[in-house]
Amino acid sequence: MDIKLKIWRQKSAQAKGKFESFELKDVSPEMSFLEMLDYLNSQLIAEKKEPVAFEHDCREGICGSCGLFINGRPHGPAKKTTTCELHMRDFKDGETVVVEPWRARAFPVIKDLIVDRTAFEEVMHAGGFISIDAGSAPEASGLPVGKIISDKVFDAAVCIGCGACVAACKNSSAMLYVAAKVAQFSMLPQGKVEGPERVRNMVKKMDDMNFGFCSNTYGCEFDCPKGISVEFIAKMNRDFFSAKVCSPKSE
């Protein structure tokens, strides 16, 4: 199959970017999207041109680094699929595919399709952990967790931090990401002790890192490659309100 590409090129965060057009012939439908970009770059290198910079790591849909904005959708047209799991059979022969980086003030462009997602790390450093000394591994039956709760915790913990929720939101909100990270700890016995402090700190850091407000369009849930539900946002809002009401006056 033949593919036309319009790819965002930008040398640095300070440079002015623009779209560049490419044409690829004999693209295998079984190629992943990243393999197609590798194929493009091999041709550019052979022509002594600068290859397109894009981020990737595991190529197994579990690290979250491969996020690209493809034809107006985070990770492309397929549901619950990361860019590295997207295949060229999802596109038509002769189709023009537009590829951009995440568009968010909190995710400045480093080069071409690579953005700086340090803002997510800052939010995690603010409270995405349990600081108690757990000692050695406890007995499995020492802290029993019900099946319903454990399933919910896992549903939140599958977040890979790719940033698709931010890219999908018209306000570039990180609410779904933060809510998932808060929930995966707050619903477990070990995480309840620091629950109020955690949600206050992580929400404050989210605001400090220039993420926008939740737009309530559910675009984050729709485009999340792991299908994380917006019900976690509702839970975080309840936890945050409770934590603010019950917080010491000194805060």
The closest alpha carbon to 88, from 18, 39, 161, belongs to 39
- Do residues 189 and 74 share a domain? no
31-42 burial, b for 16+ CB within 10 Å, e for fewer? Answer: bbbbbbbbbbbe
Q: What is the pTM of this model?
A: 0.92
- pLDDT at residue 118, as a whole number: 96
- pLDDT at residue 250, as a whole number: 47
Q: How confident is the model over 117-149, as pLDDT tens digits?
A: 999 999 999 998 888 776 676 676 777 888 999
Domain assignment present for residue 251? The answer is no
Residue type, 114: I
- pLDDT at residue 143, as a whole number: 75
- Give the DSSP H/E element, type plus range, for residue 69: strand 69-70
Domain assignment present for residue 39? The answer is yes
- Of 82, 110, 138, the position where a domain reaches its end is 110
- pLDDT at residue 140, as a whole number: 66
Q: How confident is the model over 11-33, as pLDDT tens digits?
A: 998 999 999 999 999 999 999 99
More confident residue, 144 or 1: 1
Q: What is the mean pLDDT of residues 155-171?
A: 96
* CA atoms of 251 and 244, how far apart (whole Å): 9
- pLDDT at residue 129, as a whole number: 87
CATH code of 39's domain = 3.10.20.30
- pLDDT at residue 134, as a whole number: 63
* CA atoms of 26 and 88, how far apart (whole Å): 11
Band (189; pLDDT cuts 50, 70, 90): confident
Percent of the chain with pLDDT over 90: 86
Q: Alpha helices, DSSP H only, in 2-128?
A: 33-46, 118-127
Residue 139 makes CB contacts below 8 A (sequence gap 6+) with none
- Total domain count, the chain: 2
- pLDDT at residue 251, as a whole number: 53
- Do residues 129 and 198 share a domain? yes
- Do residues 99 and 163 share a domain? no
- Do residues 150 and 91 share a domain? no
Burial of 44 (0-12, 13-18, 19+ CB in 10 A): middle
pLDDT surpassing 90 at residue 152: yes
- Do residues 223 and 126 share a domain? yes
Residue 77's domain spans which residues?
3-110
- Do residues 122 and 227 share a domain? yes
Q: How confident is the model over 210-245, as pLDDT tens digits?
A: 999 998 999 999 999 999 999 999 999 999 999 988
- Of 110, 141, 161, the position where a domain reaches its end is 110
Tokens of 241: 């309100």
- Of 69, 87, 110, the position where a domain reaches its end is 110
* CA atoms of 139 and 133, how far apart (whole Å): 16
Q: What is the mean pLDDT of residues 150-161?
A: 95
Domain assignment present for residue 250? The answer is no
Q: How confident is the model over 96-113, as pLDDT tens digits?
A: 999 999 999 999 999 999
Q: How is residue 47 annotated by DSSP?
A: T
CATH code of 211's domain = 1.10.1060.10
Domain assignment present for residue 150? The answer is yes
